[in-house]
């Protein structure tokens, strides 16, 4: 996503509002959660209209080429798009990613939509910026297994790249830094498509069926999901231990106070992107809901916001209907969604 100056301020406003909704009105407010106020919490900022800029556009185009370029891997067989498949919301369907020589990596491939404002990146926050992140998979011996020297030499032999780098980075040309900037420029253009939930937020009552509206009330209320999943991407971009049995320390590798914590993922189009969690251990949304209902492993690092919920079967179905509304396009202008 492209930079939006007002976006940070909005994020903070959303955070404050979420906190109020959550803190001021625990259980009761939950069921009565004020739907108009919730609309504001989840409103998607308008698409940024950037002035035409031939330099930026040529970098974005070059970055797109590089994203699909197999020379980025040591074996010449893998591109970024091998794992981040545009036809699968820039993910794959494997519980954990498979790198060069069919090596299974520790974590599931995340979606690449709407990352423009996200800092730090990676599930454990180990990359400070997109420019820093994009070189990591290329140079990781288990992921794409390429070396900087070989990559720059190989790309430098292709006249298309020599010209595209000269055009996108006048006076600089092809280097480690310009390669990273081109890939990052492309990633900033990836915005998730609108959903039925967006249409409802914007005032189309018929875009959410009654079941999904009940699910939203639960999400914002008794189930407590909104404490971590708020704002237009439905994430606080914070790190939390939600009690999964995985032995992966996550953020704990860098911050001893946060063992087993991972960055809260965006829930945009979540229903279309199974399996779930950093290790792909939960096969579908019902399994995710069952996990939160049980509350996961009770250990000191587990977030106090995750605890057994005691949801009824009907409540689980309502929650599922709400999550599904985040995962389908808006109803067409003629009809709504049949109940
Ligand atoms: C082998 C599969 C694979 C390939 C190839 C791959 N990635 Fe990834 N990508 C992953 C996995 C797995 C993660 C999560 C790693 C983690 O968080 O520890 C990830 C994380 C990311 C993130 C961070 C997303 C976030 O939400 O923090 C970005 C950005 C990204 N990849 C871009 C790229 C780019 C650009 C390329 C090509 C240069 C690429 N990836 C190649 C599997 C892959
Ligand atoms: C304490 C903060 C917190 C709360 C409360 C919370 N979540 Fe999460 N959620 C997270 C984190 C962190 C992850 C990622 C965990 C991981 O990758 O291991 C996550 C992951 C998910 C995922 C999987 C997304 C994906 O792409 O893998 C879904 C779906 C989800 N949460 C839904 C919910 C629902 C529904 C609730 C309420 C019942 C809820 N969450 C409550 C923090 C939270």
Residue that terminates a domain, selected from 153, 187, 221: 187
Examine the pLDDT at 13 and tell me if it is beyond 70. no
Number of domains in the chain: 2
pLDDT mean over 267-279: 98
Determine the pLDDT at residue 6: 47
Ligand 2 centroid–CA 200 distance in Å is: 22
284 in the same domain as 263 = yes
Same domain, 286 and 226: yes
CA of 268 to the centre of ligand 2 (A): 12
pLDDT tens figures, 164-178: 999 999 999 999 999
- 336 occurs within a structural domain: no
Ligand nearest to the CA of 125: 1
Give the closest ligand to the alpha carbon of residue 127: 1
Mean pLDDT, to the nearest integer, of 98-123?
96
- Per-residue pLDDT for 25 more than 50? no
- Give the span between the Cα atoms of 210 and 205, in whole angstroms: 10
Q: Tell me, what's the pLDDT at 48?
A: 80
CB neighbours (10 Å) of residue 253? Answer: 13
- pTM here is 0.91
Contacts of the segment 330-339: beta carbons below 8 A, 24+ positions apart: 330/194, 330/195, 330/196, 330/198, 330/199, 330/204, 330/207, 331/196, 331/199, 331/204, 331/206, 331/207, 336/204, 336/206, 336/207, 337/196, 337/206, 337/207, 337/208, 337/209, 338/209, 339/209, 339/210, 339/211
* Dihedral angle, C-alpha 117, 118, 119, 123, nearest 10 °: -170
Is a pLDDT exceeding 90 seen at residue 191?
yes
Residue 29's domain comprises 5-46+193-325
Q: What is the CATH number of the domain that holds 182?
A: 1.10.760.10
Same domain, 22 and 71: no
333 found inside a domain: no
- What is the tens place of the pLDDT at every residue in 27-63? 444 445 678 888 999 999 988 888 999 999 999 999 9
């Amino acid at each position: 996503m492209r930079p939006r100056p007002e976006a940070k301020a909005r994020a903070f406003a959303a955070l404050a509002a979420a906190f109020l909704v959550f803190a001021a009105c625990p259980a009761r407010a939950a069921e009565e959660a004020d739907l108009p106020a919730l609309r504001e919490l989840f409103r998607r900022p308008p698409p940024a209209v950037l002035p035409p800029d031939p330099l930026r556009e040529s970098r974005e185009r070059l970055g797109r080429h590089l994203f699909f370029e197999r020379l980025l891997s040591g074996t010449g067989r893998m591109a970024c798009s091998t794992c981040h498949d545009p036809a699968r919301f820039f993910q794959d369907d494997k519980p954990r990613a498979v790198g060069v020589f069919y090596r299974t990596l520790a974590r599931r491939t995340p979606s690449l939509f709407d990352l423009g404002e996200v800092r730090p990146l990676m599930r454990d926050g180990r990359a400070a910026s997109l420019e820093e992140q994009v070189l990591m998979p290329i140079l990781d011996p288990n992921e794409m297994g390429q070396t900087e020297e070989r990559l720059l030499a190989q790309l430098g032999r292709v006249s298309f790249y020599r010209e595209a780098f000269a055009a996108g980075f006048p006076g600089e040309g092809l280097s480690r830094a310009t390669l990273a900037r081109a890939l990052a420029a492309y990633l900033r253009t990836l915005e998730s498509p609108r959903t039925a939930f967006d249409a409802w937020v914007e005032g189309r009552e018929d875009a959410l069926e009654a079941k999904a509206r009940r699910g939203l009330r639960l999400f914002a209320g008794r189930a407590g999901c909104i404490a971590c999943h708020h704002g237009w991407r439905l994430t606080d971009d914070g790190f939390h231990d939600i009690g999964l049995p995985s032995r992966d320390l996550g953020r704990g590798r860098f911050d001893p106070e946060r063992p087993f914590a991972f960055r809260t993922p965006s829930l945009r189009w979540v229903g279309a992107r199974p399996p779930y969690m950093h290790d792909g251990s939960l096969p579908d949304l019902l399994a995710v809901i069952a996990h939160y209902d049980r509350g996961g492993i009770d250990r000191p690092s587990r977030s106090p916001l995750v605890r057994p919920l005691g949801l009824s079967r009907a409540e689980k179905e309502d929650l599922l209907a709400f999550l599904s509304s985040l995962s389908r396009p808006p109803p067409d202008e003629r009809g709504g969604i049949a109940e």
